[in-house]
């Protein structure tokens, strides 16, 4: 830099400049420039050799030769200096007054510094009535000729003309500070120079403003600089602007509001370049308590027109932005109000309130409304979002507030903020907050604990055990929750994974502890997550729906039984016991080759209940079931033994026998007679085997299809076998069968036998008496006789004779035959008893809780000396074994002498005879028949039957036989016999029932099937007009079979040579024959004790087929071969009175009461 110094010739320099290369010094006298420079006003021009103006300055006068405005007249002794980097061709801007005559920035002539306010507004706004502070304004300050690199303190402030007290605040760079103190510490540069902008504003908080500014025309702008020794002070007089009617005596002012380039120095000037306003657009980092709007500026100016808005950069370059700006008087302002801002709500329905907006400014304005803030879980919308208002005009806006009941996450406290913004002055912005407190419950599950069945807290559980899940339920809200359901889920929170629920009518502030006792049986082993959710269905409106869930880990330990254990079966189930006889029982079978432990296994009849609620019969520890063996448990071992004659393995409920191990029970357990379910389970509730029976609709995953049909009282459910293996399909098929198993009945499994022996086939009336009587007469040691009816005096005499020979005679007789026991039978039994026979009656006595094993003992057989068996179809009666073979029933019989066979039948006899059985009662003689004056003259029978054989032949042969017992094996054995037929089937029966209970007689469709195969099937049935019931069934059977091509004939007792066709025999292919006591009705096969034998031997079979075919050829009027209904019965009787085929029957019966009882001798 080079300075040219022009001085008066009398000027004394304090520093020699000739030695300074940067200064060129010229001296002139006063004459060179006329009278010198004017003190109050003048101007200077710097012109080059081409007469071009290089620079100018003017002071005190605005001459047309100099551009711009003049700087004010300096005080006496002061100088005018150019400000660094300012070149606007405007002396008022480019130059400043100083007390030090130093040209330019460097102070090379004097150590005395000067301070300058070179840029400031000529008009400063007062505070309008709505504000506490005036709009901020800027001043530019610079210091020259100060000590280089030295710190100084500055303060800028505004005072009234007659006061020294500041009425303003100064921006420190961080905050607004009362202007009474030094706010800035600055440091001069190496030339002793410093410059910067400072910002001030008025504040109503100071008395100095209210007393010295508010109602005045002008004020003083002050700047002070101090160091440790001196204080420099400068003042500028500025005019005050009245912005509204709250101020007076100032010049009317207004605002220029715009959004322009951000963070720029902006100023307003008039056409003569007077500085009206100066400030920085936003963001300017000056806190003016208004929103920051980028580029926003708010400049104040006196009311004027044709103003120009310009920017000035750091290098002093001015850039005009907008011209022809007019400033009008007035302010923008508005207020808001509402009747209520805080709400308490007990439901989540939308509600509304009003917000009033009032234009309190002096200018019309438009206002924009928006929802600027919503608490989570709340929502609002406005009736209008834009309104326009004139001064002093107001309008109500409806605000709709919705707590959003459809959202999941909601809070107890919420607020909605409405923001109102002035369109004309965007920093005029107000917010109004509406707060809402929801008084609702808030359910949480803060904690979960888990316990095993022993009550110990644990996260591991043996599969099948009960596991307690204890949740902690808390209501954090301030309202009572009602009808609260706590739900438990396995692995996922969805309906199909629901484990259970717990419901409370109310949940208040006190914590509750809902527990779920989880049966882990059907939970797969491994790691699982238990979720507990309060109000899963969201029926309770809550503050927070996201905190209703918690979870805990659970490990299920595998307890699945072994493959062998799972094969154990229930093979017998007795649930419908006789009244007051508590001997229900269950039999288990181990079909494997492995010994299986039953430690803590149990049987339950409450299968579907949770294991800790089940009724149980529990096996103790160290109990095993051996391979291929069974065990039976019963309610009462004594009662069980009385009816089955078997010793059980275990008993429960009643400790009737100290030698029988006792099983523990949980709760009293009885099996329903009507229906239900039972299961065998291991100690972990795994079902090993199960049954569903009777009238129940219960469904179980371990059972297929419908339940097992109900049984009758006293009947045992038995599992079916196929090829000697128990069926196990977990369905009723495993159990349904025609055969009925009544408690106490025998369980013989007759096998086919190949024997060598003497066989005597016989028929009745032909030779039955002679065969039987002869065999009885030749007996040496023992006679065992089973009879349904015993009324034969001749056989009685044979037995008495045997007794006289010291032969042991044992009779088992049906004690309750149809129609009761006849007086003659009682007399004969009394007689036998008197002579030493042992007699047992098979008889029930329900009053004394005695229940028969069989409906009737209908068997007719005798075992002689344990080597001969006599099997008959007929009773031990005059018609079954007639002594006169011209009269009697058609019966078949056989006598076989073989010790093995006789022994087998003896075991049957002794099983039925067993005096320990409650239904076998020792015959008690009637004293009436013991009186000496009582005796009987026997009946005498004879007829016109001509015997086919007068003497039966005995053959010694090797034969194959199969014993037949009802109910043990008769039905399957006879079914198989008929099934094997290839050519002929001859059947002679007293009657054949076409239907049984709930089903067809199974032998009927078998016969039809055989007929369809082309076999010759012939059936002879009895027809007795007095047998109404059997005639009906025979008619039905005859009609049915004949419709399928089967030949069926009646032998009418009205005209035939037989008393009745009482036979129960079959001949198959002339190779096999059945001799038995079995009628073809349900009772005979399934409920009675019946005896028979199948003999596979052609010669023997042909014997019986010859007799059958002889009967088949009997002549009879054709009119009688039709089925007869009961209305024809009397007609038939009358018609038969004259037929030549009627049997002549003469019966003479005399019962004489005699006084000489003791004189009679018995044969």
Find out whether 268 and 308 touch, Cβ atoms under 8 Å. yes
Nearest to 1085 by CA among 994, 971, 963, 1002: 971
- Domain borders along the chain are 3-98, 117-327, 334-438, 443-556, 565-737, 757-940
**1106 burial class (0-12, 13-18, 19+ CB within 10 angstroms)?**
middle
CATH topology of domain 757-940: Endonuclease; Chain A (3.30.870)
Which pLDDT score, from 0 to 100, does residue 15 have?
Answer: 56
Find out whether 398 and 354 touch, Cβ atoms under 8 Å. yes
Cα–Cα dist 843/840, whole Å = 9
Cα–Cα dist 875/1144, whole Å = 22
Instruction: Summarize pLDDT for 273-304 with one digit per residue, the tens.
Output: 888 888 888 888 887 667 788 989 889 999 99
Cα–Cα dist 985/987, whole Å = 6
Cα–Cα dist 192/187, whole Å = 9
Domains 117-327 and 565-737 share a fold: yes
Tokens representing 49? 């050799």
Cα–Cα dist 1032/992, whole Å = 10
* Other beta carbons less than 10 A from residue 1066's beta carbon: 28
Instruction: Summarize pLDDT for 794-816 with one digit per residue, the tens.
Output: 999 999 999 999 999 999 999 99
| Percentage with pLDDT > 70 across the chain | 90
Tokens representing 252? 């009317």
Which pLDDT score, from 0 to 100, does residue 984 have?
Answer: 98
Cα–Cα dist 781/805, whole Å = 8
Decide if pLDDT at 492 tops 60. Answer: yes
Architecture per CATH, domain 334-438, reads as Sandwich (2.60)
Decide if pLDDT at 709 tops 60. Answer: yes
Model confidence at 1120, in pLDDT bands (50, 70, 90)?
very low
Decide if pLDDT at 1125 tops 70. Answer: no
For the domain covering 117-327, report its CATH number.
2.60.40.3880
Looking only at the bridges linking them, the beta strands covering 394-402 and 1090-1096 are unpaired
Decide if pLDDT at 906 tops 90. Answer: yes
Model confidence at 641, in pLDDT bands (50, 70, 90)?
very high
**Segment among 42-51, 788-797, 1148-1157 with least mean pLDDT:** 1148-1157
Decide if pLDDT at 1131 tops 50. Answer: no
Q: Tell whether omega for the bond before 967 is within 30 degrees of 0, i.e. cis.
A: yes
CATH superfamily of 565-737: Lamin Tail domain (2.60.40.1260)
Cα–Cα dist 1036/1021, whole Å = 12
Tell me the CA distances in angstroms from 767 to 29, 714, 741, 892, 950, one per residue in order.
195, 41, 37, 10, 6
Model confidence at 927, in pLDDT bands (50, 70, 90)?
confident
Instruction: Summarize pLDDT for 530-576 with one digit per residue, the tens.
Output: 999 999 999 998 878 889 999 999 999 999 999 999 999 999 999 99
Determine the average pLDDT of the residues in 706-727. Answer: 95
Determine the average pLDDT of the residues in 835-841. Answer: 98
Mean pLDDT of the chain: 88
- Residue 847's contacts (CB-CB under 8 Å, 6 or more residues apart) are none
Which pLDDT score, from 0 to 100, does residue 107 have?
Answer: 39
Nearest to 699 by CA among 730, 657, 743, 672: 730
Helix (H) or strand (E) holding 1102: helix 1098-1112
Determine phi and psi for 1106, rounding to 5 degrees.
-65, -45
Decide if pLDDT at 1139 tops 60. Answer: no
For the domain covering 443-556, report its CATH number.
2.60.40.10
Which pLDDT score, from 0 to 100, does residue 108 have?
Answer: 39
Tokens representing 883? 């002594």
Model confidence at 1151, in pLDDT bands (50, 70, 90)?
very low
Cα–Cα dist 728/732, whole Å = 10
Helix (H, G, I), strand (E, B), or coil: what is residue 91? helix
Which pLDDT score, from 0 to 100, does residue 948 have?
Answer: 81
* Other beta carbons less than 10 A from residue 572's beta carbon: 17
Express the helix, strand and coil content of the chain in percent, nearest 5 each.
15, 40, 45
Q: CA 660, 665, 668, 672 torsion: positive or negative?
A: negative
| Percentage with pLDDT > 90 across the chain | 68
Which pLDDT score, from 0 to 100, does residue 24 have?
Answer: 72
Q: CA 801, 804, 806, 810 torsion: positive or negative?
A: positive
Instruction: Summarize pLDDT for 83-127 with one digit per residue, the tens.
Output: 655 567 888 888 888 766 554 444 333 446 788 998 899 999 999
Cα–Cα dist 870/891, whole Å = 13
Q: CA 1058, 1060, 1064, 1069 torsion: positive or negative?
A: positive
Determine the average pLDDT of the residues in 135-141. Answer: 91
**Segment among 188-192, 571-575, 753-757, 1090-1094 with least mean pLDDT:** 188-192
Find out whether 662 and 651 touch, Cβ atoms under 8 Å. yes
* Other beta carbons less than 10 A from residue 98's beta carbon: 21
- Selected residue with higher pLDDT from 436 and 201: 201
Find out whether 1079 and 991 touch, Cβ atoms under 8 Å. yes
């Amino acid at each position: 830099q080079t300075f040219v110094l022009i001085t008066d010739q009398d000027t004394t320099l304090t520093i020699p400049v000739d030695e300074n290369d940067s200064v060129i010094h010229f001296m002139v006298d006063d004459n060179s420039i006329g009278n010198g420079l004017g003190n109050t006003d003048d101007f200077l021009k710097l012109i080059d050799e081409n007469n071009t103006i290089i620079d100018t300055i003017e002071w005190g006068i605005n001459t047309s030769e100099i551009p711009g405005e003049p700087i004010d007249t300096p005080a006496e002794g002061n100088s005018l200096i150019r400000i660094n980097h300012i070149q606007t061709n405007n002396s008022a801007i480019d130059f400043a007054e100083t007390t030090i005559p130093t040209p330019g920035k460097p102070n090379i002539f004097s150590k005395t510094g000067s301070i300058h306010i070179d840029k400031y507004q000529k008009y400063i706004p007062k505070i309008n009535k709505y504000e506490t502070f005036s709009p901020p304004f800027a001043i530019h300050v610079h210091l020259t000729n100060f000590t280089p690199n030295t710190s100084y303190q500055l303060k800028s402030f505004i005072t009234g003309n007659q006061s020294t007290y500041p009425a303003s605040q100064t921006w420190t760079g961080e905050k607004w500070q009362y202007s009474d103190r030094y706010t800035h510490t600055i440091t001069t540069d190496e030339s002793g120079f410093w410059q910067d902008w400072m910002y001030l504003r008025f504040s109503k908080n100071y008395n100095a403003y209210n007393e010295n500014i508010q109602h005045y025309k002008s004020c003083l702008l002050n700047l002070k600089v101090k160091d440790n020794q001196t204080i420099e002070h400068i003042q500028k007089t500025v005019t005050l602007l009245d912005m509204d009617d709250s101020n007076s005596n100032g010049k009317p002012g207004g605002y220029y509001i715009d959004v322009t380039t951000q963070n720029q120095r902006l100023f307003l000037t008039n056409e003569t370049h007077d500085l009206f306003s100066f400030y920085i657009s936003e963001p300017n980092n000056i806190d003016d308590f208004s929103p920051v709007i980028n580029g926003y500026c708010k400049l104040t100016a006196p009311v004027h027109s044709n103003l120009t808005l310009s920017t000035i950069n750091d290098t002093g370059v001015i850039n005009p932005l907008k011209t022809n700006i007019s400033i009008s008087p007035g302010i923008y302002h508005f207020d808001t109000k509402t009747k209520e801002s805080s709400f308490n709500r007990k439901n989540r329905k939308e509600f509304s309130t009003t917000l009033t907006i009032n234009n309190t400014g002096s200018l019309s304005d438009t206002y924009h409304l928006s929802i600027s803030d919503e608490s989570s879980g709340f929502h609002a919308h406005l009736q209008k979002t834009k309104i326009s208002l004139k001064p002093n005009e107001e309008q109500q806006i409806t605000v709709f507030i919705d707590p959003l009941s459809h959202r999941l996450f909601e809070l107890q406290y919420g607020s909605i903020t409405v923001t109102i913004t002035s369109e004309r002055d965007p920093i005029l912005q107000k917010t109004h907050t509406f707060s809402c407190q929801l008084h609702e419950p808030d359910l949480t599950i803060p904690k979960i604990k888990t316990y095993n069945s022993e009550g110990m807290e644990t996260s591991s559980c043996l599969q099948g055990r009960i596991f307690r899940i204890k949740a902690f339920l808390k209501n954090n809200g301030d309202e009572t929750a009602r009808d609260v359901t706590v739900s438990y889920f396995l692995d996922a929170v969805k309906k199909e994974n629901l484990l259970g629920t717990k419901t409370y009518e109310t949940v208040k502030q006190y914590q509750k502890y809902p527990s779920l006792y989880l049966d882990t049986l059907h939970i797969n082993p491994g790691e699982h997550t238990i979720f507990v959710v309060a109000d899963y269905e969201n029926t309770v409106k809550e503050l927070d729906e996201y905190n209703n869930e918690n979870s805990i880990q659970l490990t299920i330990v595998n307890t699945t039984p072994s493959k062998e254990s799972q094969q154990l079966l229930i093979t017998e189930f007795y649930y419908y016991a006789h009244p007051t006889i508590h001997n229900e029982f269950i039999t288990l079978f181990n079909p494997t080759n492995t010994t299986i432990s039953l430690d803590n296994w149990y049987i339950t009849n409450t299968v579907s209940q949770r294991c800790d609620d089940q009724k149980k019969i529990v096996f103790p520890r160290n109990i095993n079931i051996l391979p291929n063996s069974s065990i039976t448990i019963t309610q009462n071992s004594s009662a069980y033994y009385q009816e089955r004659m078997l010793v059980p393995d275990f008993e429960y409920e009643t400790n009737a026998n100290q030698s029988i191990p006792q099983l523990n029970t949980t709760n009293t357990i009885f099996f329903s007679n009507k229906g239900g379910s039972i299961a065998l389970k291991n100690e972990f509730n795994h079902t090993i085997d199960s049954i569903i029976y009777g009238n129940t609709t219960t469904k179980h995953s371990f059972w297929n299809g419908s339940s097992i049909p109900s049984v009758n009282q006293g009947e045992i459910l038995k599992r079916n076998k196929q090829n000697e293996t128990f069926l196990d399909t977990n369905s009723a098929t495993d159990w349904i069968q025609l055969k009925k198993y009544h408690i106490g009945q025998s369980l013989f499994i007759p096998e086919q036998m190949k024997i060598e022996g003497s066989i005597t086939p016989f028929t009745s009336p032909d030779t039955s008496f002679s065969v039987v009587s002869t065999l009885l007469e030749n007996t040496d040691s023992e006679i065992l006789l089973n009879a349904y009816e015993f009324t034969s005096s001749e056989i009685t005499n044979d037995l008495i004779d045997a007794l006289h020979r010291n032969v042991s005679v044992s009779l088992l007789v049906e004690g309750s035959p149809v129609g009761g026991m006849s007086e003659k039978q009682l007399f004969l039994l009394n007689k036998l008893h008197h002579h030493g026979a042992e007699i047992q009656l098979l008889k029930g006595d329900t009053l004394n809780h005695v229940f028969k094993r069989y409906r009737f003992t209908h068997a007719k057989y005798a075992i002689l000396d344990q080597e001969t068996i006599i099997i008959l179809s007929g009773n031990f009666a005059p018609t079954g074994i007639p002594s006169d073979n011209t009269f009697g029933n058609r019966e078949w019989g056989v006598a076989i002498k073989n010790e093995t066979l006789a022994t087998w039948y003896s075991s049957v006899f002794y099983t039925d005879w067993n005096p320990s059985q409650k239904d076998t009662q020792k015959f008690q003689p009637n004293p009436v028949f013991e009186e000496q004056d009582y005796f009987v003259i026997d009946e005498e029978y004879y007829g016109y039957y001509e015997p086919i054989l007068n003497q039966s032949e005995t053959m010694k042969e090797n034969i194959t036989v199969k014993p037949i017992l009802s109910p043990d094996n008769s039905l399957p054995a006879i079914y198989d016999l008929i099934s094997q037929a290839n050519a002929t089937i001859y059947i002679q029966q007293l009657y054949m029932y076409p239907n049984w209970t709930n089903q067809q007689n199974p032998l009927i469709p078998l016969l039809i099937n055989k007929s369809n195969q082309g076999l010759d099937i012939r059936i002879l049935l009895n027809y007795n007009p007095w047998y109404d019931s059997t005639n009906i069934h025979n008619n039905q059977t005859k009609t049915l079979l004949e419709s399928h091509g089967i030949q069926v004939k009646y032998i009418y007792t009205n005209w035939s040579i037989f008393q009745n066709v009482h036979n129960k025999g079959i001949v198959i292919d002339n190779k096999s024959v059945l001799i038995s006591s079995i009628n073809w009705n349900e009772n005979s096969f399934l409920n009675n004790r019946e005896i028979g034998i199948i003999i596979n031997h052609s010669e023997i079979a042909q014997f019986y087929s010859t007799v059958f075919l002889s009967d088949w050829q009997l002549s009879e009027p054709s009119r009688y071969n039709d089925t007869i209904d009961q209305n024809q019965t009397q007609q038939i009787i009358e018609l038969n009175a004259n037929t030549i085929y009627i049997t002549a029957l003469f019966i003479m019966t005399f019962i004489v009461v005699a006084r000489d009882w003791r004189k009679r001798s018995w044969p």
